[in-house]
Amino acid sequence: MLGFKRQRLVEFKAAYVTHWNENNYCWPEVIFYGERGTPNGMAQLTPYPEGHFQLHGMSQNITLFKDGLVASTVQSAQPKLGNDFINKIDKSWAENEINLRSQSAIDHLAAFIPRFSSATIASKPLFGAQQIPGGDPSLRASDVSFEGERYARCEIVKASSVLTAADEIIEQLIRSRLLSPETSKKRDFKVTQQLKEVDILAYAQRLTEQRDYPMALADINVPARPRCEHG
């Protein structure tokens, strides 16, 4: 309505849930760097309790998808995904695709960690359509852009970046003399501090069960196996 234009992308991506029964080590999250979109794309191993691991492989047959990256147009700032991806989000995946892509993810990690080849598929993938401000699919941080002095556009991709985005807006308001330079950025987190860990965990477990994923993905109180010992 204001005539402001914004370029953005939306990308359908997936990560794969596996179980490695033969693991005898305590793993951190591990990333093997590689060129995005190639067969040697980045590989990521994310540990969860009870021998579960989430896998990313930034190639077209694992985490990325052909035609899964779409851009905004002159007519609309909201990119439109193809019907195949909408069906995956709203309905379900084909069983053969789950198995094929999950096994490809296992094979991709096994190229760096050979013993991981014994891992098995634990559930359907984790997946979704991720918004990306601007035109660079490799950037995932929140973005704040301004039109003139009094219009701010804030797009949140990752919750962890919300505070940084808020600071940028406050600084712009100070530059525009709409806030005093003495304005404090002190945060009291009144809402957050009302949340109880037991309630957060219960909600996570409820969502995990509803969406038919292994409960280990939600239960932060279950120690990873084997138990990590730190000196």
Whether the per-residue pLDDT at 29 is higher than 70: the answer is yes
pLDDT in tens, 78-105: 899 999 999 999 999 999 999 999 999 9
Answer whether residue 136 shows pLDDT above 90: no
pLDDT for residue 226 is more than 80: no
Query: Over the stretch 37-73, which tens digit does the pLDDT of each residue have?
Result: 999 999 999 999 999 999 999 999 999 999 999 999 8
What is this structure's pTM?
A: 0.84
Q: What's the CA gap between 156 and 182, in Å, rounded?
A: 27
pLDDT reported for residue 167:
87
Residue 185, pLDDT score: 67
Secondary structure of the chain in the HEC alphabet? CCCCCCCEEEEEEEEEEEECCCCCCCCCCEEECCCCCCCCCCEEEEECCCCEEEEEECCCCCCCCCCCEEECCCCCCCCCCCHHHHHHHHCCCCHHHHHHHHHHHHHHHHCCCHHHHHCEECCCCEEEEEEEECCCCCCCCCEEEEECCCEEEEECCCHHHHHHHHHHHHHHHHHCCCCCCCCCCCCCCCCHHHCCHHHHHHHHHHHHHHCCCCHHHCCCCCCCCCCCCCC
Query: Does 11 have pLDDT greater than 60?
Result: yes
pLDDT at res. 227: 53
Residue 124 banded pLDDT, cuts 50, 70, 90:
very high
Q: Please write the tens of the pLDDT for every residue from 158-199.
A: 788 888 888 888 888 888 888 888 776 677 788 888 999 899
Give the CA dihedral 210, 215, 219, 223, nearest 10 degrees.
180
Quote the pLDDT of residue 104.
97
Q: Report all structural domains of the chain as residue ranges with CATH numbers, in order of start.
A: 8-135 (3.30.9), 141-185 (no CATH)
